[in-house]
Amino acid sequence: MAVKHKYIEANIGISEDNRQAISDGLNRLLANEYFLYTKTRKFHWNVEGPNFRSIHLLLESQYKEIAEIIDEVAERVRKLGHYALGSYKQFSAVVDLLEHDGEEVADEKTILIELCQDQETIIRLIRSEFIPTADKNKDDGTSDFLTGIMEQHETMAWMLRASAK
């Protein structure tokens, strides 16, 4: 006789409603990370100018770091018993960042400033919305996780600011 498997709900000491609220915030973060990743790759591919090599390499290191963050955020949603968003349609419905949709890429300094502003938007969202939501819903693990991501973005923003001077 075949055994039917039933989905096992996460029983981690956080109610379903609280896990849903936290996962909604994490999915919003995931959308913003994906938009930032895409914009950073676009600028990496298309940057031109006297500082091409250094900016090209800086942006490469950043999009690789953002790609890791994307995976970690999606996996955190799954750990809470929910599903991670995974399409541009889903991301577009909850994202805070704007796409860079022009064919022409701006000058080097404008690229660095725009990416820095996006990094700082994510930092502010994590600090003012996502960590407080995790704290309110008694999820110390997610709060700690988000603090680490915020610190990564603070470093990336600093590198962009320093390079734009």
Within 47-130, residue ranges assigned H as helices are 52-79, 88-94, 108-125
pLDDT 10s digits, 40-74: 999 999 999 999 999 999 999 999 999 999 999 99
Contact by Cβ (8 Å): 37, 66: yes
Measured at the alpha carbon of residue 73, what is the angle toward residues 69 and 75, in degrees to the nearest 5? 115
Neighbours of 37 (CB within 10 A): 18
Question: Residue 131 has what pLDDT?
Answer: 98
Domain boundaries along the sequence of the chain: 16-164
Separation CA 22–CA 143 (nearest Å): 10
How far is the C-alpha of 55 from the C-alpha of 48, rounded, in Å? 9
108-162 pLDDT, tens per residue? 999 999 999 999 999 999 999 999 999 999 999 999 999 999 999 999 999 999 9
CATH level 3 topology of 16-164 = Ferritin (1.20.1260)
> How many angstroms separate the CA atoms of 11 and 113, rounded?
44
* C-alpha dist (Å) from residue 87 to 62, 84, 141: 22, 10, 26
Q: Where residue 15 falls among pLDDT bands split at 50, 70, 90? A: very high
Query: What per-residue confidence (pLDDT) applies to 107?
Result: 86
